[in-house]
Amino acid sequence: MTLPATWTHIYIFLGKMAAGISSWQRQHPSIPPILVILLFTLLKCLLSLASEVNAFMKIVDRILIFCNKILTISLILFATTKL
C-alpha cells in the first residue's frame, strides 16, 4: 500500500529533519545533549501525529467509499423502480 504524495513528502521532510539535528549536534558539541533529546522527542511526536492523522484519514476514506456504494445502489434502485 502506498502513501499519498503529501504524506510521503511529510515523512521525507521529518527524516531529513532528524538527520539534520544529528549532524548539527555533531558539528556543535557544546550544545547540551538535553536540547538534542528534546528536539528528537518533538520529532517523534510529529511523526506519531502524522501517523495518527494518516490512520484517521484511512478510516474517513473507507466511510466515504461505503457511503458512495450505498448512494450508487440507491440510485440504481431508484432508477429501476421509476422506469
Q: Using one digit for the tens of pLDDT, what is the confidence trace for 13-50?
A: 767 766 776 676 677 777 677 776 777 777 777 767 77
CA dihedral 34, 20, 26, 37 (to 10 degrees): 10
Number of H helices, E strands in the chain: 2, 0
pLDDT for position 61:
83
The pLDDT of 3-8, averaged and rounded, is: 60
Range of the domain at 75: 5-82
Start-end of H helices in the chain: 5-27, 33-82
> Mean pLDDT in the chain?
73
What's the total number of domains in the chain? 1
